Structure 1
Amino acid sequence: MHDPASLPRLPPLSAGTLLRALFKCPSTADARAPLATRFLLSSLDAGHVARYRAALGFGGTHVPLTYYYLLAQRAHLATMLDAAFPFRLVGAIHVDNLLRAGAQPATGRSLVLASTVGIAPPAANGAVQASLDTEASQDGQLVFACRSTYLVVRGRRGGGPRPPAAPAPDLAPLASWQLANASGRAYAALSGDWNPIHLWPWSARLMGLRAPITHGMHTLGRTCAELERAGGRPLRLLDGRFRAPVELGAAVRLAADLAQGCYTVEAAGRAAVEGRFDFDAAQVMQGAYSRS
């Protein structure tokens, strides 16, 4: 067992990191070869957690489940920048994200983030998805687990008619909000994700989009806050499947079934995100960092 103190530090999301991602070329590595990384985070930044809570509208004092993605994202990007990851990062599409909470972390103590990569066999149309699984632990106890799935190779168009979509569940309206035109830049400053598609109209057009879109995890974070507010408890599990982009300035609506644990986020008349969730029955909306 390695001494955690000897592990490399969890890299920040910086302009230099994003430039490396933009210019990373596909490697000749075997896509079936195992790829795993381990990083050390010296401690959670309580001030940053507080800013995240305020920006997304969380109640209570716990660490929000979706905040952990900001840590997992840093581990994921560092892992995908490894020469052994055989795909380019430009053009990769975040298609699904699953977060699961463990114990609330203690302040001032380190976390170990261990990540592994799984690459699915190509679909019939040639599309390839890669999943990155990260588990964060503190003193051997799980704090959170995150699985992010990315479309890393787009499939061929055509291939016959698509199967009919499953009928949408009958969900009750829960919340709505209006995205500000500057919300992409605000969330980028909070998350460190300065992907040009989220920032300005001109930068989005340079990347092939007609308009800037919000970060998918911005939508999922706001969804998490609204579900917790309605249920009166923190979430211990949240899955989000990203179906369609949400443009900055759009009106967004959340509908959910709190008893069945399913939700849909709609914008511009179509489903943008949908998934499932589970409340933490052991907590009401309180519980700060553990101080043990």
Structure 2
Amino acid sequence: MSNIHKSITELVGRTPLLELTGYEKHHDLGATIIGKLEYFNPNQSVKDRIALSMIEDAEKSGRLKPGDTVVETTSGNTGIGLAAIAAAKGYPFRVYIQDQVSQERFQVIHAFGGTTIKLGDEPVIAKTLQDTGGDFIAAIKALKEDVLSKEDHICFVDQCSNPANPAVHKRTTGPEIWEDTDGEVDILVACVGTGGTVSGTGAYLKEKNPNVKVVAVQPGPNSLPSPKKPVPDEEITGVHPFEGVPENLIPSTLDRNIYDEWIAVEALDAFEAAREAALKDGILIGASSGAALFAAKQLAERPENKGKKIVVIFPDTGLRYLSTNLFKA
């Protein structure tokens, strides 16, 4: 019987797990590190899951109709996923994207027919960010109320507050991990952007086994903007702080009751871990994946975690970072 798919929407999910045996051996780790390779999604990132989920949820609810334009704000991968799904379904797409992301992201979105607008080029967003000291949530609110509310025939999917974001991870990512490990998972590690991945996946795994430990990862202080250094030397694209920051900066898609521990990782450590994964296990992962891997290594080095299985979400491919310093010696 033939097995021919009719749309990329049918190819999202069911990504493989890979034990990083080379990385484990290189660091003489006592625990098993298993990466969930989300770059096996059709557009090489975990964000394909929420792109499909948010668009189909909007279609079912009637918020998205034929001829409407799908709109989003993003640091890149969500925009790529939405651009591809929108193209496959016949919707125009427009994204307000962070200025400093890699050029590959702009190029891929344009290839799918999407329109990109740098956040700094939208006056309302730029002014709000300046007035609030970088409050991205406030900037999104201003965009909705002062710009998008004046337009017709658009659907702003808003990944930072859309319940379809964590819901798809509870429905797909969590069950995939549970099934592929035969329920033998002790620790889940995931970076936080919107928080949907760690919230939805963690919620499912804890329902199956309350003893599963969930660890969330945020950038270290040297990899975040500060008054002394508004632009750090290196940042971890798509990974945002959620501990030690005002509540108004935390997306509603992050369930802070899900994770048991959080770990801060500096960009240079994330870069090094990503490079080692390429050299030792032959996988090319991005900076956020490197951050999650470095956090997993710290967990694997703890005596109490000897013999345990640590599943790490690797959100995207390293191919999106070739124009950055990630793989430069």
Could you say whether these structures have the same fold, taking a TM-score greater than 0.5 normalized by the shorter chain as the test?
A: no
Higher helix proportion: 2
Tell me the TM-score normalised to structure 2 length.
Answer: 0.28
Query: TM-score under structure 1 normalisation?
Result: 0.31
